[in-house]
A and B are shown apart, each in its own frame.
Chain A
Amino acid sequence: KAGVTQTPRYLIKTRGQQVTLSCSPISGHRSVSWYQQTPGQGLQFLFEYFSETQRNKGNFPGRFSGRQFSNSRSEMNVSTLELGDSALYLCASSKTGGAGANVLTFGAGSRLTVL
């Protein structure tokens, strides 16, 4: 069974640019959550999508957005990049019912460097 796939794994952008990250969840998982991981702030929740709708949102500015497609794949976008946006962005998927519901399985992450 394929795991959570995130692309790209590494990318470098400059301040002011925007970036789009992609996440393919485990087959059958309909919930996708996004996290930002930095040395200073640790792992912080960005948002969760289920059935193409944002179900939960963390405390990040509006520059951070996401969406989910009908096949449960998700993308997140960061506009007007700032140096502080440099981080590992992690996607996690989960089932929403039955055994193992809400158990998050994480991808390997997309490491974003903003110069």
Chain B
Amino acid sequence: GQQLNQSPQSMFIQEGEDVSMNCTSSSIFNTWLWYKQDPGEGPVLLIALYKAGELTSNGRLTAQFGITRKDSFLNISASIPSDVGIYFCAGRVDNQGGKLIFGQGTELSVKP
């Protein structure tokens, strides 16, 4: 079945540093999404990408939809303590509406 490989699994960084994480797949996806999950909450959408090569920003976050449609990355610039949480990538094939394939998550810890 379709799988997403997300890396790294965890990151420990200093406040103010930039962060990069990525997802790769052996399958093509037509939509890439990045979510953040805080303890005790559901995932919250950060960025949605719909076209190969698309580069989209949301504040300090930037994500790109890989040109092969098999990968995506998320960058966080100038990290702050509230960036702590688990970040998930997710991919979707067009005709699969609510069905997302999720990566295993990247747990981010930020040291003030």
Smallest CB separation, B50 vs chain A (Å): 10
Contact with B along A80-115 (1 / 0, CB 8 A): 000000000010101010000011111111000000
Q: Evaluate contact between B45 and A56: CB separation under 8 angstroms.
A: no
Contact A103 B100, CB 8 Å, known A4-B42, A108-B41: no
Inside 8 A of B1's CB, which chain A residues have their CB?
59
Q: Evaluate contact between A102 and B98: CB separation under 8 angstroms.
A: yes
Smallest CB separation, B10 vs chain A (Å): 13
Q: Evaluate contact between A32 and B104: CB separation under 8 angstroms.
A: no
Q: Evaluate contact between B98 and A43: CB separation under 8 angstroms.
A: no
Main secondary structure, interface of A, reads strand
The answer to whether the Cβ of A24 comes within 8 Å of any Cβ in the partner chain is no
A31 (CB) vs chain B CBs: closest residue: B98
The answer to whether the Cβ of B99 comes within 8 Å of any Cβ in the partner chain is yes
Q: Evaluate contact between B99 and A106: CB separation under 8 angstroms.
A: no
B96 (CB) vs chain A CBs: closest residue: A56
Contact A58 B43, CB 8 Å, known A42-B104, A42-B105, A102-B92: no
The answer to whether the Cβ of A48 comes within 8 Å of any Cβ in the partner chain is yes
Interface residues on chain B, number (Cβ under 8 Å): 24
The answer to whether the Cβ of B40 comes within 8 Å of any Cβ in the partner chain is yes
A109 (CB) vs chain B CBs: closest residue: B42
Q: Evaluate contact between B97 and A31: CB separation under 8 angstroms.
A: yes
Q: Evaluate contact between A55 and B42: CB separation under 8 angstroms.
A: no
Smallest CB separation, B86 vs chain A (Å): 10
Smallest CB separation, A88 vs chain B (Å): 8
Please, how many angstroms separate the alpha-carbon atoms of A20 and B108 in the complex? Answer: 33
The answer to whether the Cβ of A33 comes within 8 Å of any Cβ in the partner chain is yes
Chain B residues in contact with chain A, CB under 8 A?
1, 31, 33, 35, 40-45, 48, 88, 90, 92, 96-105
Instruction: Given contact pairs A55-B97, A90-B42, enumerate 4 new A-B contacts (beta carbons under 8 Å).
Output: A42-B104, A55-B98, A56-B97, A92-B42
- What are 8 pairs between A and B in contact, CB < 8 Å? A4-B42, A32-B98, A43-B100, A55-B97, A56-B97, A103-B33, A107-B42, A109-B42
